[in-house]
Structures are given as structure tokens and as C-alpha cells.
């Protein structure tokens, strides 16, 4: 389904919703099987109804941080709803492959999905801004933009043509820069490199002369070990240790200039979401905010132990990208962003909002968080 | 009520809870007025019961970020509970004065309170660790320690003798260093200074030769204007602008070495909390996590505009503390912490947990967040 087809589908849905609103004026007894009208009947009438949903994910079942983050979201929804909304979580490939969950939820194969927006750049390149931007916002800034800077409204507009309601449901904070089997001493060392790196960061690698590929997390280790790819980034020490990436690459570079605070998402089929009574809608929205924060805090709590293990037990060579490599990547990142926003007025609108917010939060953080981290 | 009295009171409560558990084995119909037994009856039996609670706060009613943060917490609890748990928020002084809310909730005058743990250092100096520590954790680290590093369990133990259940319900992130009417060029400039600065930071000022006082936020401006105090810190640009502190002091110093990520709290009377069915308990716990994150994100979104207004419209002179002042304050901070932990084995246990977590998160953040903020 492309963007135009999605828009047509959405227009049909809007028309059906309009009918649903009209139908709600009949007696509840005569139309309580009408899914659209449920949103318009009172909370009390729905409050004991039980909903059983499926959540499809781009992660291996129960993968630390990401897969367990999806399970955590389902669990707190169940607890807060007193068992009225039960969500069964499926790993990548259990119902649909990792990169088909967006279409699957749009098509109502499942009610909910858990992934990250840059996986859907084939639908619309602008969606990548809702994951992360190279040299862009940190996790706290990204969340502040989404909840207090207009970002969430833009994201909702971006997913609306597909009949999906997006929510932020996790964040990695600043990632690591990736696993390599050679030193990166200049940008030339990236030429010819076939590397797993998604989103805008991947396009930066392409401009630097490399070949970005996207591989689901669960296939990463084998791809790297078999030489299908030369290098990869994933998340950070806690997650990268779990995949055993240190067995297939020697150098581990920091920091993740390409993913400084990546938002993980859950999205809900709009019709399914509208069928929930208002209290359950509020529970889903707030649970996603708890899950969003919780995943990031789990990384804060776990990454250093994993890093120590990688260095001391697995002899990983941790390096920092040289300053001139960073400068060149910064220039290429600006080009990549310019290409995306030049192609589409909505992409320009999203980026203007993103960049305007970032300029202010950066100025404040230079005086507060950054100044403090440098002096403590 | 001192610590010993609170312990005695708690032993009585435990005994009453024991009776409550025993009573729950009678039929529900015969004991459904027993508050303690409600926790043991099933969710379904309680699910339509409505609870009307009071929340007392240390903030002026609807004060930006802090007071509105308490209102936001009440609002999302109401939405998620479908109106089954309604909490009316009171500003400082409406029912009880700001610094009496801890005792008021312990005494069941209100079911809930909203403040910060360092306000209760008179009960037990160790409680200050649950607000913030000079040169200690940032907001993300503090939350990661609380939720994933054992901090919350310690906080629960610390409030348990008072019959209170603590939750983190807000964070300021790195604060500003305060408002002064003279330049701070050396630590000697702090001598003789009467400054509003709470918690451990206040004790550092005392060692530096100043006089720390605590004044509720709502009284700050008048105290500073009338010369009752010579200097003050409060939170950061967004909050400090709202109090008009720029009208009573010229120099605004950064960064807030004394409050690098202060946790705001809500606490619930234990008996009231146990009277809720499990789904409402889950809603209160998760709502506090949403409110915790939301307050901090509001500061990220609002502080820079306020700072620009302070500088451009109100001619505030923003300065950074000189490096040798910071070094001296760091030494004094270590002394203050040593005094607190030396007095009490439980304080030592809390601090060991805090400091152990910080050492790891700092090592990871030096490679990730800090490295990234310095290069972007």
C-alpha cells in the first residue's frame, strides 16, 4: 500500500466513522456490535468489556530492552485495565516478518505493532524524523519535542493516512557507533563498506561511499559472521552483548552520531483504538509513556556492566571516531536531511518543527546538562 | 512525630493490617466496610467503587511545572480510572502549610502529598538522598537508580516507618545555581550569605560559611526583596521567571551543582493505598511515572524561552561559577555526605547503593551522552 492508496483507504474509513457517529444515535441495544459506535457510547456501558489484542513486533521475542519493552507495555496495560485489555506479544516472524508489521496492523491482522518509524521510510522518507536524526536530539529532547513541542501531532498526521495511531514507547538514548573489523581513521575507510545502518544514518553512509543495508536485529549476527555485511551498528553494550556481535567484529566505536536518541514506537490500528472506551484509551496512551521512559532507564542501568564485560571478558577494542571523521559525517548528514525535506512540503514542516525545538533545547542544555556533565 | 514514634505507630498499623488480612477470610458481604480487607477482595467486586482523595502540596496552587505537575498527576489518574479515583489538589497553605504535608498525610488528614524528600530531613537526614545529591546523579540516572537499581525499594523502606508509600513524580533536571546580588568570584564570597538552599546543598553552604534557610517557594520573592535572605536558588529559568526573582537579584549563576536532577515526589498514606483495588494501585503507580517524566520534559521544552526572556527583557546577568569555586564546593559536598552517612547505618546503605550506581552510569554516560553533547 503506498501513500496515495493509504489516503484513499483513510477517506473510506472517515466515511465509515461518520456513519458510526450517526449510528450512535440509535439505541445501544440495537447497535452494540457496531465497532465504530463503541467510541461514542459511554464509558460505563463498556467498562466491563474485555478486549484481546495481538501486538506484532520487529524484535526477537523477549529480546532484552526492545522485546521485553513490548512485553512490559502489554503487562502494565493489563494491570491498569484490571484484565480488560489483554495484549499478546509476538516476536518478529511469529505472525509476520519484522518489516511487515506496519502493513499488518494497517490491514488489521493485528491491533498493535512495536518497532521504530525509520523502518517505514519506504512509505514516506519523512517518517524517519520520528525515530532519530544524525547529530540531532537526545532522548530527553526528543520526548520533550513529542509531548511538549508539537512533534506528536505531526507524527499522528504522518501515520493517519495509514489508519495508524503512533505513540512513543521506548528510547535507546545515545547509541554506540557500531562494530567494525577495521579501524576507521578517515571517512575513506567507510568507502565500499556494506553496513547494517537504518534510517538517515544509512543515507549518510551512502554519501560517504558505503552501502547501507537494513537487516532485522535477529539476523544481524549471522549476517556479520558470514560476511553478508562488513559492519553493523545495533544499539549499545547491553543489546549488542546479547546478540554476541563481539564474536564477529573487533572494533566497537563510540559515540552513535547517527542515532543520538532513537524513539521506539508502538502504533495501534485506528479502528481498534477508537473501539476502546475512553479509560482504556487513556491507559494505552499513558502506558506507552511509561514504557517509553522505562526502556531508556533500563539502558542507563545495564549498559555499563555490559560494556565492562565486552572489554574485560571479550577483549573488545573500544574506540572513538576521530574528530575529522565526525566533521565530515556532520556535513553529509546536513545534505541527507536537505534531500529529504526538499522532496516534500510535509517533510519540511516536520523538520522545521524538529530543528526549531532542537535549537532551543540545545542552548539550554549547553548551560545545564552539558555544563554539569563536564564539571562533575 | 519523630522517627521512633513513627516506628511505634507503624507497628500498630502492621498489627491492624494483620487483623485485616484475617478478617478477609470472612464473607465479603459481612466485612466490606473494613478498609484493610478491600485490598484482599477481588478487583471485580471493587471495580465500580469511587474514591475521593485529597492531595496536599508544597507548591503554590498551579505553580508552573510543580503545582501543575501535581494537577496533571491527578488528571491522568482520573482519566485512566474512568472517574473511579478523583483527587482534589490543594496548594501550600490551603489545608496545611507547605512543610507540614508529610505529617498531614501520615496522620490521614489527606491521602496524598506532593513535595520533595529533602524537605523532611528533620525526620531523618538520609531522606535527602531521594531528592538529589550535590555533584550526584542527573535526572535519567536518578530515575534509573530508582526503578532499576534498587533505589525505590530503599525509599519505600525509608518512608515505611511513617506509614507512607513514596513514588517519584517529577524531576527538574539540572537546575540553575541561584540568584545573587553580588558576583561569586571565590568561595569566600559565600561567607555570611543567608541563602535559601534546601537539602544537602544547604549544608555545603553552611560549611562554606553561609547560612542556609529553607523558605517555601511561594514566599521566596518577598523574602529576597525584603532582605530576609541575601540570595536564593529555586529551580531554573521557567520557574524562576514565574516567581519574578529577577526583580530582586541581578546575577543568575549556572549550573546547579547542588541539584543536578532533583526528584519531586508524591507519597500516599499506606492505609489509603492498600484500600484501593489492584488496578487502581497500578494506575497510581504508573501515573506517577508518567508525571515524573512529563514534568522534566516540560522543563526541557520551556527553560530556554524563559532564559532568553530573562536575559533580553529583564537584563539578567547570567554567569558561570568559576572552576575553583566548583572544586571547593565539591570537597565540601563530600564532607557533608560523609557526615550524613557516618551518623546512621541505613543512610550508609542508601548512599552505597546510590554511589555504586552512579559510578557505573557516569562511566557509561562519559562515553555516550556526554561525548555526544560535546561533539554535536
Decide if A82 and B279 are in contact by the 8 Å CB cutoff: yes
Pairing of strands A211-213, A251-254: unpaired
Cell numbers describing residue B169: 513524580
C-alpha–C-alpha distance, residues A353 and B301, integer Å: 13
Pairing of strands A231-232, B164-171: unpaired
Beta bridge partners of residue B178, listed in sequence order: B253
Decide if B83 and A43 are in contact by the 8 Å CB cutoff: yes
Decide if B372 and A255 are in contact by the 8 Å CB cutoff: yes
Strand ranges across the sheet with A51-57: A85-90, A51-57, A112-115, A263-269, A164-171
Pairing of strands A85-90, A51-57: parallel
pLDDT of A7 > 50? The answer is no
Domain limits, chain B? 51-172+262-300
| Residue B60 contacts residue B217 (beta carbons within 8 Å) | yes
* Share in percent of chain B as helix, strand, coil (round to 5): 55, 15, 30
Beta bridge partners of residue B164, listed in sequence order: B269
ipTM of the complex: 0.88
% of residues, chain B, pLDDT over 70: 88
C-alpha–C-alpha distance, residues A7 and B343, integer Å: 67
Residues of A in contact with B278 (CB under 8 A): 79, 82
Tell me which fold the domain B51-172+262-300 belongs to.
D-Maltodextrin-Binding Protein; domain 2 (3.40.190)
Decide if A255 and B144 are in contact by the 8 Å CB cutoff: no
For every residue of B117-137, DSSP letters joined together read: GGGGTTT-GGGGGGT--TT--
C-alpha–C-alpha distance, residues A308 and A303, integer Å: 9
Q: How confident is the model at residue B343 (pLDDT cuts 50, 70, 90)?
A: confident
Is residue B198 less than 8 Å (CB to CB) from chain A? Answer: no
Mean per-residue pLDDT, A346-351: 98
pLDDT of A258 > 60? The answer is yes
C-alpha–C-alpha distance, residues B193 and B224, integer Å: 12
pLDDT of B266 > 70? The answer is yes
Minimum CA–CA partner of B145 in chain A: A301
Q: Mean pLDDT over all residues of chain B?
A: 90
Tell me which fold the domain A178-260+314-348 belongs to.
D-Maltodextrin-Binding Protein; domain 2 (3.40.190)
Decide if B300 and A79 are in contact by the 8 Å CB cutoff: no
Decide if B173 and A144 are in contact by the 8 Å CB cutoff: no
- Closest by CA to B306, choosing from A182, A93, A368, is A368
pLDDT of A28 > 80? The answer is no
Distance of residue A50 Cα from the nearest chain B Cα, in angstroms: 13
Residues of A in contact with B353 (CB under 8 A): none
- Closest by CA to B56, choosing from B106, B10, B9, B6, is B106
pLDDT of A279 > 90? The answer is yes
The CATH number assigned to the domain with range A53-174+264-300 reads 3.40.190.170
Distance of residue A138 Cα from the nearest chain B Cα, in angstroms: 8
Per-residue pLDDT tens over the stretch B248-259: 999 999 999 999
Decide if A304 and B360 are in contact by the 8 Å CB cutoff: yes
Is residue B6 less than 8 Å (CB to CB) from chain A? Answer: no
C-alpha–C-alpha distance, residues A281 and A255, integer Å: 38
Q: Coil, strand or helix: which one is A329?
A: helix
Size of interface A-B (CB pairs under 8 A): 218
Q: Which of B76, B175, B260 shows the shortest C-beta gap to A286?
A: B76
C-alpha–C-alpha distance, residues B66 and B212, integer Å: 22
Mean per-residue pLDDT, A113-129: 97
Equal fold, A53-174+264-300 vs A178-260+314-348: yes
C-alpha–C-alpha distance, residues A293 and A168, integer Å: 9
Per-residue pLDDT tens over the stretch B115-158: 999 999 999 999 999 999 999 999 999 999 999 999 999 999 99
pLDDT of A296 > 70? The answer is yes
Beta bridge partners of residue B269, listed in sequence order: B164
Q: Coil, strand or helix: which one is A159?
A: helix
Q: What pLDDT was estimated at residue B214?
A: 87
Is residue B42 less than 8 Å (CB to CB) from chain A? Answer: no
Distance of residue B328 Cα from the nearest chain A Cα, in angstroms: 12
The alpha-carbon radius of gyration of chain A (Å, integer) is 22
Decide if A140 and B296 are in contact by the 8 Å CB cutoff: yes
Distance of residue B283 Cα from the nearest chain A Cα, in angstroms: 5
DSSP state for residue B84 in the 8-state scheme:
S
Per-residue pLDDT tens over the stretch B26-47: 323 333 333 333 444 344 444 6
Is residue B47 less than 8 Å (CB to CB) from chain A? Answer: yes
| Residue B325 contacts residue B187 (beta carbons within 8 Å) | yes
Map grid coordinates 521544552 to a residue.
Answer: B301
Amino acid at each position: 500500500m503506498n501513500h496515495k492508496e493509504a489516503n484513499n483507504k483513510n477517506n473510506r474509513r472517515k466515511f465509515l466513522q461518520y456513519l458510526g457517529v450517526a449510528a450512535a444515535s440509535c439505541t445501544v441495544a440495537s447497535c452494540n456490535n457496531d465497532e465504530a459506535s463503541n467510541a461514542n457510547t459511554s464509558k460505563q456501558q463498556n467498562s466491563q468489556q474485555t478486549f484481546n489484542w495481538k501486538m506484532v513486533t520487529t524484535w526477537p521475542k523477549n529480546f532484552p530492552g526492545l522485546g521485553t519493552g513490548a512485553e512490559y507495555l502489554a503487562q502494565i496495560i493489563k494491570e491498569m485495565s484490571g484484565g480488560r485489555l489483554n495484549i499478546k506479544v509476538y516476536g518478529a516472524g511469529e505472525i509476520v516478518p519484522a518489516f511487515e508489521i506496519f502493513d499488518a496492523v494497517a490491514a488489521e491482522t493485528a491491533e498493535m505493532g512495536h518497532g521504530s518509524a525509520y523502518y517505514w521510510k519506504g512509505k514516506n522518507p519523512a517518517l524517519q524524523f520520528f525515530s532519530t536524526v544524525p547529530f540531532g536530539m537526545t532522548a530527553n529532547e526528543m520526548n520533550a519535542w513529542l509531548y511538549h513541542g508539537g512533534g506528536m501531532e505531526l507524527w499522528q498526521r504522518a501515520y493517519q493516512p495509514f489508519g495508524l495511531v503512533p505513540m512513543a514507547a521506548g528510547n535507546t538514548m545515545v547509541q554506540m557507533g557500531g562494530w567494525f573489523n577495521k579501524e576507521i581513521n578517515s571517512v575513506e575507510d567507510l568507502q565500499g563498506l556494506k553496513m547494517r545502518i537504518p534510517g538517515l544514518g544509512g543515507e549518510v553512509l551512502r554519501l560517504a561511499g558505503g552501502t547501507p543495508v537494513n537487516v532485522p536485529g535477529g539476523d544481524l549476527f549471522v549476517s556479520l559472521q558470514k560476511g553478508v555485511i562488513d559492519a553493523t551498528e545495533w544499539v549499545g553494550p547491553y543489546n549488542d552483548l546479547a546478540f554476541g556481535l563481539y564474536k564477529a567484529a573487533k572494533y566497537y566505536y563510540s559515540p552513535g552520531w547517527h542515532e543520538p536518541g532513537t524513539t521506539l514506537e508502538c502504533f495501534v490500528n485506528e479502528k481498534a483504538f477508537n473501539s476502546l472506551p475512553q479509560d482504556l484509551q487513556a491507559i494505552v496512551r499513558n502506558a506507552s509513556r511509561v514504557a517509553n521512559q522505562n526502556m531508556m532507564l533500563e539502558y542507563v542501568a545495564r549498559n555499563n556492566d555490559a560494556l565492562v564485560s565486552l572489554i574485560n571478558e571479550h577483549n573488545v577494542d573500544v574506540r572513538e571516531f576521530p574528530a575529522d571523521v565526525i566533521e565530515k559525517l556532520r556535513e553529509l548528514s546536513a545534505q541527507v536531511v536537505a534531500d529529504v525535506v526538499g522532496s516534500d512540503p510535509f517533510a519540511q514542516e516536520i523538520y522545521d518543527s524538529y530543528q526549531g525545538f532542537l535549537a532551543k533545547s540545545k542552548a539550554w542544555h549547553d548551560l545545564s546538562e552539558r555544563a554539569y556533565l563536564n564539571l562533575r
